[in-house]
Each structure stands twice: as structure tokens, then as C-alpha cells.
Amino acid sequence: MSHVVPLMEVHDHCSIDGDTAALFGFVGWPYSVRAEQRSQLQTAIVEQLVRCFGQEALSPLHVLVEDWSANKFIVHPSDLVGPQSHPAVGPEIVRVPIWQGRLVFAAAETSRQSPGLIDGAFFAAETAAHSLLAG
């Protein structure tokens, strides 16, 4: 986690054998800033990676910026002005199996641990798998 933007989170997405290096991250600029400075975002990301990893990061092979908040099929206008934080742990009902235990919701937002974060997604997946396997 970083409190220096644009990237607030950067995650290792390298291949298991280490042959392919890749990172992905989450941008911390509010939507209004991203919309206003969209053309500068890629440069700002590379500059941040140089601060973290040195001059070698100055020439990435590829940078892809996908702003999901700009996708009208998955975002409601109220999402663009909502809180810039991850959700709190939700109510227990979102973790209770339904349909005689055959359906369990497993998403970062349903996690008891790190809700809304990648770590929370893994925790929720493990919890759901254990629940389903226990039958």
C-alpha cells in the first residue's frame, strides 16, 4: 500500500518461473482527477515505478491503463462520487451458504478479512471452498 499516488497498490503478477515480469495496480486518484488528467496518468504511473524500482522501470515494454470507472456497463454515476476507501466487513448474511449449502458467495467484498482488497478475495475464496467441501 502506498499513500503516494497515482498507484495506491501495486501487485506482483510475474510468471511462476520468473521469465515474464509484470505488475498491476490500483490508481488512487479520484475519478474527477483521472478524468481531467487521463492523458497524464500513464506517465505518472511510470514515474512512480521509477521512484520505487529505479531507472530500469523508465522503459516498460507495455503499460495498459484500464479505468473501470469509465465503463458505463459496470459503473453507476453514484460510484464516481462515493467514498475513496475499501468497504468495512459486511453483515454475516453475505457469507451464509444458501440453497442447502450449494451456493456460497466468494468475493473480496464478502470477506471477513481485508474486504474489498485482493487479499480479501483470496480469503473469501478459501472460506467458500472449505464451506462447499465440508458439504
Length of the chain: 135
Q: HSE of 15 in the Cβ direction (CA atoms, 13 Å)?
A: 5
30 vs 85, more confident: 30
Burial (CB < 10 A; 0-12, 13-18, 19+), residue 5, is middle
Asked whether residue 123 carries a pLDDT value surpassing 90, the answer given is yes
- Domain ranges, ordered by start, for the chain: 7-81, 92-134
pLDDT tens sequence across 56-102: 999 999 999 988 888 889 888 887 886 667 788 999 999 999 999 88
List CB contacts of 103: < 8 A, sequence separation 6 or more. Answer: 97
